[in-house]
Amino acid sequence: MFNGAERVLTAVSAPKPVAANAADRDSDSTNNQKFAAAEHKAIGDKAFQRLLTEVPGLQALLESQGLIDNTDGKLQLAVNAKLKLRPGEIVALAGDFFGIPKEPISSVADLEERKALFARVFATLAEVTDEKGLKEIENLRKLISSEEQAVLDSLAKGEDPKEGFERSAKVVGGGNSNYYYGMATRYIKVPFLFSHSRYFDLVEKNFDHFAGDAKKAYLAGFQLAVDKAKLAAATRQAGNSEEATKQLLEAFLILLYAAHFLTDLFASGHLRTPRRGLVDNINGGKIAGLLAKAMHDEDGDYGLWVTSKKSRDAGEKPWKAYGDHCYFSRDNSENRTHVEDALFDALQHLHNVFADPTVEHDFNPEDYIPEACPPEQVIEAEKGGVIVEERNHQPLFQQEQDGSITRRAALADIHCTKKRLSQALVPTPGHWAPSSTLTYLNGFWFKRTESQSFEPLDEEEREALKEYLESLQDQPEPSPAPSTDVVPARKTGAPGCVVI
């Protein structure tokens, strides 16, 4: 509906960094390291609706068993007997809000064991049936809806969608979205105790959302979903079509959960940030998190030129990917097309496996995963009708072959090729220290100025995006945050759920 594949990608030059006091930044600087939930939701909704449109008979098959509800065009999937969610809501809730704290999927070396852990992680959402748990999900849905409303408000003002996302992080009483997400998933019903929550516990070791770890987490879920699709095919061949259809839906649900980690890899701030490496090398998880946040934001704001095996095999040029809050922006349109295609093709592969398990289907999910182009690679891009040469900036941090973390020597010069060696506890010639680096970033953080503006949406794109977002507003007008009676974490039989 608002696919920008046919448009020429417009290159955006990196803005000049300006000094900004730390107080100007969000108070949640350690944790706001993700696509906005509404961005994840949009990808899942678009890909699954396309699947139902392009695969003849699939929607009728799922509707015949009561497994999907498409009343008034508002598609919902039956996650279990008491829980229905939009496809994109599953993508959005996965990993960030549901999971097993301090047990990253990517930490497990063996693939079969990794798949088993993924199944337990998936169950923390899929097996929610109790009243308290369902109310928690409803509160999270309202928060996601408030992000969508913020984008609609920005469109009404003629602004880029990114402005709406960034404003949605600053709502009642000067709070931010992480505060309310923490409140929605807190363990103890105490006012303002938002940091003692599943949301913040998941952030502490959110390795599954970055670089190679995100790839491992996604592929584990993808393989688990393929296994379930093969089981569904065998069940159908055994004559139990009703159970087979339920198993096929479960395969789709598992893949939608795994898609959270896939979609993270299309946000430039997640592609090369050594999240795990910083934690492993620095004695202090809080400092490591802040440093990862710094690189995440820099790569997200400047964007990265990326490529994939699939695009190279097709003879396509690299495309520009931007970070969180930029999903709907015109300059991110080509990246948007790539991520939607990646999820749609994976969903379609599951159906192909179900429809004909005897055929070796030619599909490799790794071929779709983007890789950042090396900084020395020159990219020819069109800008204002003129071909210009661009290249990626140097990474703020980089994990070397020996596991150590090097840092760009000049923090303010994003094209500086010199590196400082593995960190030292105190400033040492030729080395970098986490504490002094963090002090510098806190005092002179490179806040992006208003001069970094994306190519504005035209009227047709604006109306298409407005129509799509309005179609999602299937709940009463949301308040900017859950009420203070948000329930604590529940006791449930779902594996991996935190209990009080």
Residues 222, 228, 231, 233, CA torsion sign: negative
What residues contact 399, with CB distance under 8 A and at least 6 apart?
274, 277, 405
CA distance 120 to 133: 17
Query: Global pTM?
Result: 0.85
What are the domain boundaries of the chain?
22-472
CA distance 308 to 296: 20
CA distance 443 to 136: 38
Element (H, E) at 463: helix 459-472
Q: How many contiguous H segments (helices) and E segments (strands) does the chain have?
A: 17, 11
Amino acid making up residue 454: F
Q: What is the mean pLDDT of residues 291-301?
A: 91
* pLDDT score recorded for residue 189: 65
* pLDDT score recorded for residue 109: 95
What residues contact 373, with CB distance under 8 A and at least 6 apart?
304, 305, 306, 307, 318, 379, 391, 392
Confidence of residue 282 (pLDDT cuts 50, 70, 90): confident
* pLDDT score recorded for residue 5: 26
When mean pLDDT is compared across 94-108, 361-375, 462-476, the lowest value belongs to: 462-476
When mean pLDDT is compared across 55-69, 159-173, 459-473, 478-492, the lowest value belongs to: 478-492
Amino acid making up residue 364: N
CA distance 143 to 479: 8
Query: Each residue of 87-118: pLDDT tens digit?
Result: 999 999 999 999 999 999 999 999 999 999 99
* pLDDT score recorded for residue 468: 73
What residues contact 162, with CB distance under 8 A and at least 6 apart?
154, 325, 326, 328, 329, 454
**pLDDT, mean over the chain:** 81
Query: Can you tell me whether residue 58 is helix, strand or coil?
Result: helix
* pLDDT score recorded for residue 442: 67
Contact 272, 104 (CB under 8 A): no
Contact 341, 51 (CB under 8 A): no
Query: Each residue of 376-435: pLDDT tens digit?
Result: 999 998 877 889 899 999 999 999 999 999 999 988 889 999 999 877 666 677 788 887
Q: What is the mean pLDDT of residues 9-15?
A: 28
* pLDDT score recorded for residue 321: 95
User: What is the per-residue DSSP string for 238-282?
Assistant: TT-HHHHHHHHHHHHHHHHHHHHHHHHTTSHHHHS--HHHHHHHS
* pLDDT score recorded for residue 462: 77
* pLDDT score recorded for residue 472: 67
CA distance 457 to 136: 35
When mean pLDDT is compared across 178-182, 296-300, 326-330, the lowest value belongs to: 178-182
Q: What is the mean pLDDT of residues 295-301?
A: 91
Query: Each residue of 21-36: pLDDT tens digit?
Result: 333 333 333 444 556 8
